[in-house]
Structures are given as structure tokens and as C-alpha cells.
């Protein structure tokens, strides 16, 4: 069986100084984004009625079902995004494959049975009207399709495909982080309200998807070059 291009042993991942610097910047941005999500989300548990997002939602935030969905979504979403970071670690994938498999099962279970159902429910009432709702549904639908494709390719032992599908799935999950950066950026240049929200949401989905395809393309290209060299 050919080595998986996403593993360390295959020695095919981009390793130039520039690539490493780029990956480091992405990792720092991701980490800071997760910290920001966690610190903002703390408001929902410590002062629900005064949290800015809850105040913006108006009467819908008083409904128990919406509140339960929000709590479920926030807790499971943060859990899932933490697992994403661990699953991307080459060290864990290659040195602790059993842990990788176990975390993968947790990731899929929590995503499919908590993050997505609660996210789809919240999407019905999402900010930004129809365009906002469609954006969240698309985000969730793509995360669902990519994760299922990743699981199926793993079962067929197509590890390179598995890696590519999971990169796409993680990109859709990480849209929750990119969204915050874009939203803050649009806010600074005066694009606020629904327009800022919708643009950030669709921008995050698009940018993350493009980033995932670029990463996959780069890994495939490096694999082909390494195979050609070995001949």
C-alpha cells in the first residue's frame, strides 16, 4: 500500500521555511480565534440575559428550545474544534494512531449528533435573513458531507482521500473562527449589521474552502514530486 501523503513517514508534506512560517501563522491565528470564541461564549453561561449576541436575538432567545440549542452548540462546537486541532497534529497521527482513531470517532459523533443538529436549529432563526440562514445551512451541509466522505474513505482504507476529505471538513468547522476575524475586520471598516454578518459568513465559508483546496493541492503536488525523485 502506498504511504499516506498526510503522514510524516511519507516525507512529502511541504517543508520549506516559507511553508513552515505560513503554517505557524495559521496555527497562531487559529489558536487566538479559539480563545476568542471561548471567552465570548463564557458570557452565555455567566450572564445570558446581557450577552450581546443574546440581546441581538430578541424574543427568540427567551425560548427554552433555542437556549438549549445554543448551549449545546457552543459546548459541542468548542469541543469539536479542539479535536480538529489535535487531529491535524502529525505527531499524534504517526506516533499514536490509536489515539487519532479514538479522537476521530469522538469528533464525528459530537459533530453529527450535537454541533450540526443544534446548528441547523439555530440556523432557522439566524441573523441576516434568508441569505444568512442559507449560509449556515450550507456550512453545516458541507461539514456533514465532507465528514461522511472522510469516514467512508477511511473504511475503504483510502488514506490519502481520507486526509483530503477531513481537511475539507475541518475547514468548514474552522469557518466559525474565520467568521470572527472577518466580522471584526468588516466592523472596523464600517460594514456593520446584517450586511457585515452575511458577508463575514459567506466570506468565511468561501475562504476556508479555497484554503482547504490549496493545502490539498500542495500536499498532492509535493507527493508527486517526491515519487518522481524516488524513481
- Using CB under 6 A, list all residues that contact ligand HEM: 37, 40-41, 53, 73-74, 77-78, 80-81, 115-116, 119-120, 122-123, 125-127, 136, 139-140, 143, 173, 176
What is the nearest approach in angstroms of ligand HEM to the Cβ of residue 47?
13
Closer to ligand HEM by CB, 85 or 226: give it: 85
DSSP string, the chain: -PPPTTSGGGT-S--SHHHHHHHHHHHHHHHHHHHHHHHHHHHHHH-GGG-HHHHHHGGGGGSHHHHHHHHHHHHHHHHHHHHHHHHT-HHHHHH-HHHHHHHHHHHHHHIIIIIHHHHHHHHHT-TTHHHHHHHHHHHHHHHHHHHHHHHHHHHTT-HHHHHHHHHHHHHHHTHHHHHHHHHHHHHHTT--HHHHHHHHHHHHHHHHHHHHHHHHHHHHHHHHHHHHHH-
Contact in structure between 212 and 171 (CB atoms under 8 Å) = yes
| Closer residue to ligand HEM in complex, CB, 151/176 | 176
| Nearest to ligand HEM of 80, 219 (CB atom) | 80
- Minimum gap (Å) between residue 7 Cβ and ligand HEM: 25
- For the bound state, the minimum distance from the C-beta of residue 97 to ligand HEM, rounded and expressed in Å, comes to 24
Give the residue with the Cβ less far from ligand HEM, 160 or 167: 167
Residue with Cβ nearer ligand HEM (122 or 215): 122
Instruction: Find the shortest distance in angstroms from Cβ 55 to ligand HEM.
Output: 12
In the complex, what is the shortest distance from the CB of residue 222 to ligand HEM, in angstroms, rounded to a whole number?
A: 29
Amino acid at each position: 500500500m502506498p504511504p499516506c501523503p498526510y503522514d510524516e513517514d511519507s516525507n512529502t508534506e511541504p517543508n520549506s521555511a516559507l511553508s513552515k512560517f505560513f503554517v505557524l501563522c495559521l496555527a497562531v491565528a487559529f489558536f487566538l480565534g479559539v480563545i476568542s470564541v471561548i471567552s465570548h461564549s463564557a458570557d452565555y453561561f455567566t450572564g445570558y440575559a446581557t450577552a450581546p449576541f443574546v440581546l441581538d436575538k430578541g424574543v427568540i432567545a427567551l425560548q427554552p428550545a433555542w437556549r438549549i440549542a445554543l448551549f449545546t452548540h457552543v459546548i459541542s462546537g468548542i469541543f469539536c474544534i479542539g479535536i480538529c486541532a489535535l487531529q491535524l497534529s502529525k505527531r499524534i497521527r504517526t506516533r499514536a494512531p490509536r489515539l487519532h482513531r479514538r479522537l476521530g470517532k469522538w469528533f464525528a459523533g459530537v459533530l453529527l449528533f450535537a454541533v450540526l443538529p443544534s446548528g441547523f436549529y439555530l440556523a432557522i432563526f439566524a441573523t441576516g435573513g434568508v441569505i444568512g440562514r442559507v449560509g449556515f445551512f450550507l456550512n453545516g451541509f458541507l461539514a456533514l458531507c465532507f465528514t461522511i466522505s472522510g469516514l467512508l474513505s477511511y473504511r475503504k482504507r483510502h488514506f490519502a482521500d481520507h486526509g483530503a476529505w477531513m481537511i475539507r471538513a475541518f475547514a468548514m468547522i474552522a469557518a466559525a473562527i474565520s467568521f470572527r476575524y472577518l466580522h471584526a475586520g468588516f466592523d472596523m471598516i464600517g460594514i456593520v449589521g446584517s450586511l457585515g454578518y452575511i458577508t463575514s459568513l459567506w466570506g468565511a465559508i468561501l475562504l476556508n474552502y479555497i484554503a482547504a483546496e490549496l493545502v490539498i493541492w500542495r500536499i498532492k503536488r509535493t507527493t508527486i514530486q517526491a515519487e518522481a525523485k524516488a524513481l
